[in-house]
Structure 1
Amino acid sequence: MGLFFLGWFIVLAKGLLTPLLLAFFISIMLMPLYRFFRQYKLPDALAIFVSILAMAIVFGLIIWFFSAQIGNLISDFPIIQKNVTNHLNALSAWIEAHSPFSTTEQLDFIKEQSNKLLGFTGTILSGAAGSVTSLVILLGLLPIYIFLIMFYKNLLLRFVFFWFPQEQHGRVEETLREMQVIIKSYLFGLLIQVSYMTVLLGGLLLIIGIKHALLIGLIFAFLNLIPYVGALLGNIIGVLLTLASSSELWPVFAVLGTITFVQFLDNNILMPRIVGSKVKLNALATIVGVIVGGEIAGVAGMFLSLPIIAVLKVVFDRTEQFRQWGVLFGDERPERSPMEVPPLRTKDKRVKKKLEEQNKIEPPHEK
């Protein structure tokens, strides 16, 4: 019942919770910059304002770069239209040669589907208008929330400690510090990942001679932040952009091969060294978390799902009542079944430590 009402509350309050959670994570990421300005005796409010301004400039540059690449894509629209027509004609000829459907039947089918699509245009446009309105409200509230969370951080921490008896304050402090380490390492890792994925993938595609290479690299880098689902969407969009920009098929295979190579470097060499192995989440919890986050809050929920699950795991691992949920989210996979080895059924700390060593998991710690 508790889980049901909690889920119901989150769905009803997603308009409030999504910007608050985004602001909370960004505030933790801005804390090193805030402390840097405080070292130079800047007033508290001014140090927070300058930190937010620096973040706004960085995001403004990203939006400007993306807009410039979109502008280049729009300027090539006549060539794209010609290439798409050629590809569709070739596809139509192939279908006619290998199936009983003639060109006339294919055109009738396309016309029928187009009429159905136009029937949903009003709904799609109204939904898009609502999304744009929500985005404008989010962008307006986000800097205000970030400023207030950073300004009242000590008050919020005092509020947290008030919920626990004094003998548990040491464990609460340890949990809060580890949450800060997890969030900072994860978010800074994502920023670095977006940067090198854009440069590496876009640069390689540019060298090969793919049109709109930097745009493909930037889109894939941001979509890759969504676990599993984002990489698939990035591949599809990269292929579609390449098909639309080229009259040949070899660039499609070049794009897919380059994306595969860059993903291999990212997953096995670059990302593990950048983010490290502070907290490992199993693939099942990750995929379910991404889907649930998407159902609750759309794209923003998909982006937020992983850091939220990581934070919850840190909290669950340090509470007796919810430690089983920490086990469910984690990657401490026993080699043998608990049906055969009774110690694996318990919450023993020595067993947990042995499983972490077996799975090469480094517990988070404050440096």
Structure 2
Amino acid sequence: MNPIIKIPFYAKITLILLGLISITYILFIGQNIIVPVVMSFLFAILLEPIVAFLKSKLHFPHVLGVIITVLIFVLVILSLFIFLSFKISDIIEDFDKIERNLNIHLNNIQRFVRDNFHLSSREQKEYLDSATEDSMEKGKEIIGTTLLSFTDTILNITLIPIYTFLILLYKTHFMLFLSKLFKKESHPKLREILNQIKVAVKSYIVGLIIEMIVVSILTTLGFMIIGLKYAILLGIITGILNLIPYIGILFAGILSIVASLTGSPDLSIIIGVIVVSIIVQLIDNNILVPMIVSSKVEINAFVSIIGIIIGGAIAGVSGMFLAIPVLAILKVIFDRIESLEAWGYLMGDHLPKTYTWRNIKLPLFDSKTETKNILIKTDITVPVFTETTTETDINKKE
């Protein structure tokens, strides 16, 4: 019988921190390899039902079913890319109009500053030159980084379909590999974890696609109402960029404002674009995300935000996009391993969202009610401390 070695708490914390640092460093230096593989894994989970349909209903061979599925996936992405390329080229042709209308707004701003702050156009130009002089070098670095990121993105776009094809092709092979890593007693638990990962990832990606379509439609309708040129193109771009947390919608708003200058220099169009973007974001954040996306992945907002920030620091925009599905996979694993169950609970969102008041469900903000419900569900008892509680009383209770 092997003796059980007990490790002190400080040693466990040290090992955990070293492990996290090592994993983060490996992810950072290997992001160009890891990110396409993880993206391909997610797409493979999404496309797997199509392969199953072709094999079971149409009786296609496995290899042929995988080839057709990946080809359909590539054709859909290429069609969207070609459509956007043609429309964006139309905006580029109107660049002279954009520059002319932008100069009109800049002159109006200079006139406003001159009349209200008594600064001449020459003084304003000197202030701008002095303010931008120090940032020129940073701008060059940003441009260089952007070009490198663009080349990496092009490389990933070519690798992802290949990786997706191979993951779908060797799905059974990988499953047998995982089964050989664990004892037969652990196979039911392994099967449960894999099934839950597939359900969570597939539901999340489908939710994102639905959110993208709805945001695109709402933005397009809003831009059409205010009479914005290229409303359909800008609506689709907004829906796609909305998939990138935080910075995506900001970039889409700036692009829409610039594109609005292709029509007329009227300031009301720019205000209309800002109002439509704000309204769509309110609908997205308060209705679409809680109902379509957040309901698919039970991760609380605090962990989500930290995960997105860490993902962005490690792998940029791709890391921010992959943060939530990776957290969902980790939560599924943690929830089903006894020693890691507490971490799964920490990542989850188990607080009640509503309470009933006269047959009407309202948001729950009462911390006492929340705590009571948690204690009832988890059968946890905690000591109640009052202002008169002393250290001796606590020791007596213990």
After TM superposition, the score normalised by the length of structure 2 is 0.79
Match for residue 324 of structure 2 among 267, 281, 306: 306
Letter in 1 for 2:378: V
1:3 paired with 2:30, answer no
Pairing 1:61-100 to 2, within 5 Å after superposition: 61-100=79-118
Q: Deviations over 1:273-300 (max 9, x none)?
A: 5457233222211111111111111111
Q: Report what 2:36 is aligned to.
A: 19
The correspondence for 1:230, drawn from 248, 251, 255, is 248
Cα 1:328/1:233, change in 2 over 3 Å: farther
* 2:378 matched residue in structure 1: 351
Q: Secondary structure at the match of 2:112?
A: helix
Amino acid at match of 1:23: S
* Aligned partner of residue 243 in structure 2, secondary structure: coil
Alignment partner of 1:203 out of 193, 217, 221: 221
Q: 1:125 and 1:258, CA in 2 relative to 1: closer, same or farther beyond 3 A?
A: closer
Letter in 2 for 1:351: T
Equivalent of residue 166 in structure 2, options 148, 163, 168: 148
The residue type equivalent to 2:275 in the other structure is G
Q: Which has the larger radius of gyration?
A: 2
Q: Secondary structure at the match of 1:60?
A: helix
1:255/1:126 Cα in 2 relative to 1: closer, same or farther (>3 Å)? closer
Return the alpha-carbon distance in structure 2 between the equivalents of residues 268 and 193 of structure 1.
Answer: 12
Letter in 2 for 1:330: G
Matched, 1:135 2:174: no
Q: Is the 8 A contact 1:201 1:259 kept in 2?
A: yes
- Equivalent-residue separation in structure 2 for 1:213 and 1:8 (angstroms): 43
Contact 1:49–1:147 (8 Å) recurs in 2: yes
What amino acid is aligned across from residue 302 of structure 1 in structure 2?
M
Residues 331-363 of structure 1 deviation map (CA, whole Å, 9 limit, x = unaligned): 12376579x87985xxx9x529xxxxxxxxxxx
Could you tell me which of 169, 180, 191 is aligned with 1:162? 180
Residue 106 of structure 1 corresponds to which residue in structure 2?
124
Residue 72 (structure 2) aligns with: 54
| In 2: Cα distance, 1:272 partner to 1:125 partner | 36
Question: How far apart are the structure 2 equivalents of 1:33 and 1:189?
Answer: 18
Q: Can you give the 5+ residue segments of structure 1 that lack an aligned partner in the other structure? A: 353-367
The aligned counterpart of 1:360 is: none
SS at the partner of 2:339?
Answer: coil
CA distance in 2, matches of 1:170, 1:92: 70
- C-alpha separation between the residues in 2 aligned to 1:343 and 1:57? 49
| Native 8 Å contact 2:204 2:297 kept in 1 | no
Q: Distance in 2 between matches of 1:314 and 1:329?
A: 10
**CA 287–240 in structure 1, closer or farther in 2 if over 3 Å, else same:** farther
Q: CA deviation at 1:159?
A: 2.1
Identify the range of structure 1 (251-260 vs 47-56) with the bigger mean alpha-carbon deviation. Answer: 251-260
Write out per-residue CA displacement over residues 155-201 of structure 1, whole angstroms, 9 at most, x where no aligned residue: 21122233333223222211211111111111122222222322231
Shift in Å, 1:114: 5.4
Give the conservation status (yes or no) of the 8 Å contact 2:50–2:69.
yes
CA change 1:161–1:7 in 2 (3 A) is: same
Verify the 8 A CA contact 1:243 1:249 in the aligned structure 2.
no
| Structure 1 Cα separation of the partners of residues 339 and 101 of structure 2 | 61
Q: How does 1:137-286 map to 2 (within 5 A)?
A: 137-242=155-260, 245-275=263-293, 277-286=295-304
Q: 1:228 and 1:125 mapped to 2: Cα distance?
A: 21
1:51 is displaced (CA, Å) by 0.6
- Superposed displacement of residue 246, structure 1: 3.6
Contact 1:27 1:146 in 2 (8 A): yes
One-letter amino acid matched to 2:44: S
Alignment-derived partner of residue 48 in structure 2? 31
Name structure 2 gaps, 5 residues minimum.
Answer: 1-17, 353-365, 380-398
Per-residue deviation at 1:313?
Answer: 1.2
Deviations 1:193-242 (A, max 9, x none): 22232223113312320123223212221222133443344334433433
Query: CA deviation digits over 1:111-148, x for unaligned, max 9?
Result: 44555555456544443442233123212221221111
Q: Which amino acid aligns with 1:36?
A: F
The answer on whether the counterparts of 1:228 and 1:287 sit within 8 Å (CA) in structure 2 is: no
Per the alignment, residue 356 of structure 1 pairs with none
Identity %: 34
